[in-house]
Structure 1
Amino acid sequence: MSAPAHDDTVHHDPVEDITKHIPVVIPLAGAIMIFLLAFIAVKMA
């Protein structure tokens, strides 16, 4: 009986790729949302 083989390769975590962009994406999404809401308010006034 042989010992189980261990896979020592580094696993790629897609969540870490996303979380390092959060400080840029959230303010950008907020700015777009503010401009869209302002455009709708001006259009309806």
Structure 2
Amino acid sequence: MAHDHHDIAPNQADVEAAHARDVTETVVPLIPVVLPVVGAVMMFLLAFIAVSMA
């Protein structure tokens, strides 16, 4: 009779790999919000610098 390997606990590395989240997958949904906000802040700062130097 063949041994069933279903009772063997998974390796810790296999468990971590199965539950690991890719950093890119967590950042990509935020790009449509973060990019315009950062652009607006940059425009405000550049305009403030230009007005204060004039």
Task: Give me the TM-score of the superposition, normalised by structure 2.
Answer: 0.63
Q: Which amino acid aligns with 2:48?
A: F
Q: CA RMSD in A?
A: 1.7
Identity of aligned pairs, percent? 52
Q: CA deviation at 1:11?
A: 3.6
Task: Give me the TM-score of the superposition, normalised by structure 1.
Answer: 0.74
Bigger radius of gyration, 1 or 2?
Answer: 2
Please say if 1:34 is aligned against 2:43: yes
Point out the structure with the larger helix share: 2
Alignment: residue pair count: 40
Structure 2: gaps (5+ residues)? 1-9
Structure 1: gaps (5+ residues)? none
